[in-house]
Amino acid sequence: MTTVGQENARMLASLLGIEEADAAQRLDKTVLVTVAPGFTAVGGEVSELLERTIHVARSDEGKPDLELVIGSVQPATSGPYLFASLNQRGVTIDAASLRHSNEHVHPLLTALAACHIAAAALHRVIGSSSLPRFGLPLSVDFAELGIPERGLATALDISGAVLVGGGAVGNGFLRALRHLEVRGTLRMVDPKVVGEGNPNRCLYFTGDHVGLPKAPALAQAAQPDFPGLRLEPHACTFGELVAKTGPADTAIVTVDSRRARRSLQKEIPRRVIDASTTDARAVIVHSHSQPTDDACLACIYRHIPDEHARERSIAEALGIDIETVREGFISPDAAARIAKAHFSVEASTIVGRAYDTLFKELCSAQALLTPEGRQVLAPFAFVSALAGVLLVVELLRSNHQAATTNYWTVDPWGAPIGRLRRLRPRVPECEFCADDDARSLAHSLWTQNGEVR
Ligand SMILES: [Zn+2]
């Protein structure tokens, strides 16, 4: 099995509580996507998401496990079928055929629809009652997103923002952002290289990108989608960029650990727009502007005891101490120690990589059945893509002062529900908010003459 297939199988093994081999079998499925004229944009996006996880058939490949029929078109096989339709109000997915109207749908909404259609198709072919509940028909109402009026029609100058993280959600963010008219310069930071499992969910990456630094690889792959925007990659951390160029106006946060988020908050960006995934079970969106009396990024991702457990299991599995794991990236010295405990590992090939990544590659599916292991699991492509779309939506809401809440959790197997948005309060023990110096620095940085800048 390829590394990409393995990452997907581990994800499913963990979700269902089964062995990796059984999971691989369940993912060995073929979906035929039949698309009506007028629905080719959504059909294309759905196929791109699905083919990172299962096999997407061309029409001449024999009987598929599922035929996904999008729009008003005659099915090509005798089934089983899943039908999908979308219009300006939303997307509907059902086991029975649907009524259609051919309306122009904004491509950002089409991209969101594609995530939900891919989820439904995947749920159908995996066919397990252990997966998160999935009810048909599924209706997604675009109004639940709370996109401000004119938000999709106005050109956006994104200069001053930094995209933090070039992994799955970072890819998803750019894939979604390409559907808006964006100008200026977007700086992008990521100190890591593209790992072998990344193409399972990073839509701009292919096998050819493995081993290359993430930020430049992503910038180069995505640049053709942004004629009016310059992507400026930096192969370093957000902290290193801030040290060079000064505080950032907006951090668009897509990093993969709670610890990295807390340390990012200490760099005090004026504004944070953040999205994360909890394996394939949830997408979490957070935003705030400094100074704030409500939750900051470090409040939302405050330290939880489980993190110790995760770091401990990584340390134990790799044969190093927990303090070393907390450094985040593998030093030459640590690489030598890991190579001693794992004969299959060559020290020189792992220097500079993230501990989470190596842990995922080395440890069996069994290790990933623990809650600590689950936190480092790679989600399916559609989950990261959904996080990317919701990140763009949050950016629009924040730009138009429509973000009166700071926290939203969305079930990737269900529909986004606007009333679940919440305003979360500051956490008294937050390592940023409880630090008076840090808070007064935030005030002096981002307020002028008593006015918020
Ligand atoms: Zn805080």
Is 213's pLDDT higher than 90?
Answer: yes
For residue 434, the model assigns a pLDDT of 94
Say if residue 225's pLDDT is above 60.
yes
Q: Quick check: do 3-144 and 156-303+379-452 share a fold?
A: yes
Q: How far is the CA of 444 from the centre of ligand 1 (A)?
A: 17
C-alpha 63 to ligand 1 mean position (Å):
54
Ligand 1 centroid to 374 CA: how many Å? 25
Query: 273-282, pLDDT tens digit by residue?
Result: 999 988 778 8
- The C-alpha atoms of residue 228 and residue 77 are separated, in whole angstroms, by 43
Q: How far is the CA of 297 from the centre of ligand 1 (A)?
A: 6
CA of 295 to the centre of ligand 1 (A): 5
Least-confidence region, from 15-29, 184-198, 209-223, 239-253: 15-29
Span 106-144, pLDDT tens digits = 999 999 999 999 999 999 998 766 666 677 899 999 999
> What per-residue confidence (pLDDT) applies to 132?
66
**pLDDT over 90 at 361, yes or no:** no
The alpha carbon of 426 and the centre of ligand 1 are apart by a number of angstroms equal to 6
pLDDT value of residue 367: 46
Confidence of residue 370 (pLDDT cuts 50, 70, 90): very low
Interval between CA 352 and ligand 1 midpoint (Å)? 30
pLDDT at 287 over 50: yes
Helices (H), 201-270: 214-222, 238-245, 258-265
Please give the structure tokens belonging to residue 441. Answer: 């620095």
Asked if residue 222 has pLDDT above 80, the reply is yes
Confidence check: pLDDT of 368 > 70 = no
pLDDT in the model for residue 405: 95
List the one residue out of 222, 198, 195 whose CA is nearest residue 211: 195
Please tell me the distance between residue 449's alpha carbon and the centre of ligand 1 in angstroms: 24
- Ligand 1 centre to CA of 411 (Å) is 25
Distance 142 CA to ligand 1 centre (A): 31
Domain residue ranges of the chain, discontinuous segments joined by +: 3-144, 156-303+379-452
Which pLDDT score is estimated for 16?
76
CA of 435 to the centre of ligand 1 (A): 9
Is residue 341 predicted with pLDDT exceeding 80? no
Q: Is it true that domain 156-303+379-452 has CATH number 3.40.50.720?
A: yes
Give the per-residue pLDDT at 371: 46
Among left, alpha and beta (phi > 0; psi -120 to 50; other), residue 177 is: alpha
Burial class of residue 284 in the structure, from the number of CB atoms within 10 Å of its CB (0-12 exposed, 13-18 middle, 19+ buried) = middle
Tokens of 167: 């992994």
Please tell me which residue, 21 or 130, carries the higher pLDDT value.
21
Region 246-258: mean pLDDT is 93
**How much is the mean pLDDT over the chain?**
89
Instruction: Report the separation in Å between the CA atom of 300 and the middle of ligand 1, taken as the mean of its atom positions.
Output: 7
What distance in Å separates the CA atoms of residue 54 and residue 68, rounded to the nearest whole number? 13
C-alpha 191 to ligand 1 mean position (Å):
25
Q: How far is the CA of 309 from the centre of ligand 1 (A)?
A: 23
224 pLDDT above the threshold of 90: yes
E strands in 6-153: 30-35, 55-57, 66-70, 81-86, 90-94, 138-141
| Residue 439 pLDDT exceeds 80 | yes
Residue 410 has pLDDT above 90, yes or no: yes
pLDDT of residue 365: 42
Residue 451: predicted pLDDT:
55
The rounded Å distance from CA 128 to ligand 1 centre is 39
Q: Does domain 3-144 have CATH number 2.160.20?
A: no
**From 85-89, 277-281, 370-374, 427-431, the region with the lowest mean pLDDT:** 370-374
Residue 431 Cα to ligand 1 middle (Å) = 7
Q: How far is the CA of 292 from the centre of ligand 1 (A)?
A: 9
Q: Given a cut of 60, is residue 372 above it in pLDDT? A: no
Closest of 133, 176, 202 to residue 415, by C-alpha: 133
